[in-house]
Structure 1
Amino acid sequence: MLAFTVLAALVAINALYVAAEFASVSVPRSKIAQAAKDGSSRAAGLRAVLDDAVALDRYIAACQIGITLSSLLVGAYGQATLGPALAELLEAHLGLDSVAAVSTSAVVVILLLTALQVVLGELVPKNLALRFPTEVALFTYPPTRLSTVLYRPFIAFLNGSGLLLLKPFGLEAHGHQHIHGPEEIELLLAESRRGGALTPEAHRRLRRGLQLSRRTVHELMVPRRELEAIEVSTPTDEVVERLRTSPYSRLPVYRGSLDAVLGVVSSKDLVHLFVSEGELPPLESLVRPLPFVPETMTADRLVHYLQERRASLAIVVDEYGGVQGLISVEDVLAELLGDLADELKEPDPGPETLADGSVRLPGTMTLVDAEPWLGVRWTGATTTVGGHVVEVLGRLPEAGEEHVVDGVHVKVLDMGPTAIRWLAVRRAEGER
């Protein structure tokens, strides 16, 4: 009975260290900080450890030393106490000679202790720590903190040995940090949504925010063929009429062709000048210069770039300097929050479910925005659903054509001269 009691105690110690290690690296720091503010002395001590990379490294090292020592003791003590007793039973009841009995008992004891150690000493505490990280971290803090003090010489020796081994390779040891890459954060967001901590809308916005570093200006811009612009020699009264009837409050101004954009004119400037001076000067004097950005620039860099130049619009150019479109801060915000209308612009109609169950989408909708409606992820050289269909077909389709494109049944509803305006999509029968 004493042997089983000692083994149970050693497995429990191992479980405590395992739980402490997993809880320390998964506990939400905000909850510990709040508990510390509420007066919890354990939370205050644990917060000091979590906020100090060196202290956290020692804390985890103490857990690892405790796990190693308890595991070794379980094996050694189990073999010393259970092995001989089991060998005697095998000799008496199975008629094995002493060598065979000792060998068999050693294997059986190792297998039993390993199973016990893995299940009760590793898996159970790990799952508890990951499911209740705050509670487990606070519960295991006092004994683990004491272990950090007791094991300090071993920790210093082992850490020093590790540094010496890494030094010839030009590597440095880093403390344990709660650092997550974008992909890991996306997984955490997905888990939070499934767990009910985030609404679908909040999850969508946060996910899109993370993806800004991967979205390019080319994907978000208003393409050249959709630009409404004014030639610089246009008479002032015609400029006023264009701005009055335009769905936009700001229009690009060019000289000769769109590849020679001079800047932008806004209805606000025209109103201000007319009220203050009673007349309007030629259009060229009303133009505000615009910065130019490459179409490969990412959305997050674009925001910083525009902030530095105190601008809200930029002309998008390709590698040859040709104008490809116009990008604004509103386009980036729309990526996060959904479509945002210009001051005077009527909102564009969005996806619409048709009578046959298919969904009508504008051909200019980006592949990222269309993914929930498509049910699959389309990838390719293009960035819009209409462009992707044209890319797959290798030609411009005609209105009324139906095709299966990458697992999605597509019907072209309306064609423009050079692009698909509207299409209806639904999952192909064989892909459900």
Structure 2
Amino acid sequence: VGAIGVGAQATSIWGASIISTAVVPVIMTLAILILSEIIPKTIGANYWKELAGFTVSSLKIIMWILAPLVFISQLITKALKKDKKASVLSRADFGAMAELGSQQGVFDEGESNILRNLLRFNTIFAKNVMTPRTVMIAADQQTTIRAFHDQHPHLRFSRIPVYESSQDHITGYVLKDEVLKKLVDNNGDEPLSTIKREVLAVKEDFPIPDLFNHFTEKREHIAMVVDEFGGTAGLVTMEDVIETLLGLEIVDEQDNTADMQALARKQWEVRARNIGLLEPDERLPEQQIDESSGRGDA
């Protein structure tokens, strides 16, 4: 409105000349840019502490004066809004802000990755992060503690599932520390069932956020993943959930395989070639590998 008024006044004074059609608009543009953009923002960036008190007081007065107008505007907006429950910001908007924040240096790359992973958290399920059954180490619960230790003298896992008759019937898990303690106490002839703990069980499509809450509520770090037929598909740990959130593999000095799912896929390809499902130079489709790697004995 102001620009239109200035243009009308310029035309009434100078007529339809170059001054009213070119010079005045250029001067107005520069004046608006300098007086309402550059100077105020520069002052605010350099003297924000000194101006903070005055700004807060001024805004309180302005908010009080404009409150009726804001109320009327909100009523009009609500009346014209189609979806009354629609959110102003979507997950995609937050993801874009995380990416923009990383580019502008507000977040470092790691923080930006965590924010984006958090926004995708509810689209990831237990089957996407589990250790497949084919590479899972488990033991018969009737095996003696000494025999189990002799079979796995350099075991790098702290929790080992135990089963009855087959890996499709996981009955619990044992702690490596308790296995070693029994050996130190000369109780190695006892079966693993004597130190067995209860284990959680979840379905393959169990969401990762719910799994995280499940772990924290139950104070557990491991759960068995069960397929649609009730068999064992694999196992998932709190570490897997944290890795998903951080977007990286947590590998300690004793781990020799970062991604257990990748190892399972590689082993399945070898077995598929051995039984004639694949040609020597052929690779199994990614989706079929994922579906097949969760079944069968390791």
Whether the TM-score (by the shorter chain) exceeds 0.5 is yes
Counterparts of 1:291 and 1:284 in 2: how far apart (Å)? 16
Higher relative contact order (CA 8 A, sep 6+): 2
Check if 1:303 corresponds to 2:212.
Answer: yes
State whether residues 217 and 316 of structure 1, in contact with CA within 8 Å, keep that contact through their aligned partners in structure 2: yes
Shift of 1:346: 3.1
Partner of 2:250: 340
Check if 1:316 corresponds to 2:225.
Answer: yes
Aligned Cα RMSD in Å?
4.8
> Which residues in structure 2 correspond to 1:110-149 (within 5 Å)?
113=25, 121=32, 135=45, 138=48, 142=54, 146=58, 149=61
Further displaced range: 316-325 or 117-126: 117-126
Counterparts of 1:401 and 1:206 in 2: how far apart (Å)? 38
Q: Number of matched residues?
A: 273
Counterparts of 1:243 and 1:152 in 2: how far apart (Å)? 74
Partner of 2:5: 76
- Residue by residue over 1:280-335, the C-alpha shift from the partner in whole angstroms, topping out at 9 and shown as x without a partner, is 53222221111112222333332221011010000112344332110011222333
Partner of 1:398: 279
Partner of 2:139: 230
- Do the aligned partners of residues 125 and 291 (structure 1) sit closer, same or farther apart at CA in structure 2, a change above 3 Å counting? farther
Structure 1 SS opposite 2:100 = helix
- Do the aligned partners of residues 257 and 169 (structure 1) sit closer, same or farther apart at CA in structure 2, a change above 3 Å counting? farther
Check if 1:85 corresponds to 2:30.
Answer: no
Counterparts of 1:274 and 1:284 in 2: how far apart (Å)? 15
Shift of 1:262: 0.4
Counterparts of 2:46 and 2:267 in 1: how far apart (Å)? 53
Which of residues 159, 164, 180 in structure 1 aligns to 2:70?
159
> Which residues in structure 2 correspond to 1:346-425 (within 5 Å)?
346-348=255-257, 364=262, 397-401=278-282
Letter in 2 for 1:299: I
Counterparts of 2:107 and 2:63 in 1: how far apart (Å)? 42
Shift of 1:271: 2.2
Structure 2 SS opposite 1:75 = helix
Which of residues 87, 99, 111 in structure 2 aligns to 1:190?
99
Task: Tell me the TM-score normalised to structure 1 length.
Answer: 0.49
State whether residues 248 and 342 of structure 1, in contact with CA within 8 Å, keep that contact through their aligned partners in structure 2: no
Further displaced range: 132-141 or 330-339: 132-141
Check if 1:257 corresponds to 2:184.
Answer: no
Counterparts of 1:191 and 1:274 in 2: how far apart (Å)? 56
Shift of 1:264: 0.6
- Do the aligned partners of residues 206 and 127 (structure 1) sit closer, same or farther apart at CA in structure 2, a change above 3 Å counting? farther
Q: Percent identity?
A: 19
State whether residues 131 and 261 of structure 2, in contact with CA within 8 Å, keep that contact through their aligned partners in structure 1: no
Unaligned runs of 5+ in 2: 269-275, 294-298
- Residue by residue over 1:133-184, the C-alpha shift from the partner in whole angstroms, topping out at 9 and shown as x without a partner, is 971893987579647626744x12212323544676899x9xxxxx976534
Check if 1:214 corresponds to 2:123.
Answer: yes
Further displaced range: 210-219 or 141-150: 141-150
- Residue by residue over 1:92-114, the C-alpha shift from the partner in whole angstroms, topping out at 9 and shown as x without a partner, is x9xxxxxxxxxxx8xx59x965x
- Do the aligned partners of residues 183 and 265 (structure 1) sit closer, same or farther apart at CA in structure 2, a change above 3 Å counting? same
Letter in 1 for 2:4: G
State whether residues 249 and 342 of structure 1, in contact with CA within 8 Å, keep that contact through their aligned partners in structure 2: no
State whether residues 231 and 254 of structure 1, in contact with CA within 8 Å, keep that contact through their aligned partners in structure 2: yes
Task: Tell me the TM-score normalised to structure 2 length.
Answer: 0.67
Further displaced range: 268-277 or 142-151: 142-151
Structure 2 SS opposite 1:190 = helix
Counterparts of 2:74 and 2:135 in 1: how far apart (Å)? 60
Counterparts of 1:118 and 1:322 in 2: how far apart (Å)? 72
Shift of 1:206: 5.0
Structure 1 SS opposite 2:262 = coil
State whether residues 294 and 318 of structure 1, in contact with CA within 8 Å, keep that contact through their aligned partners in structure 2: yes
Structure 2 SS opposite 1:149 = helix
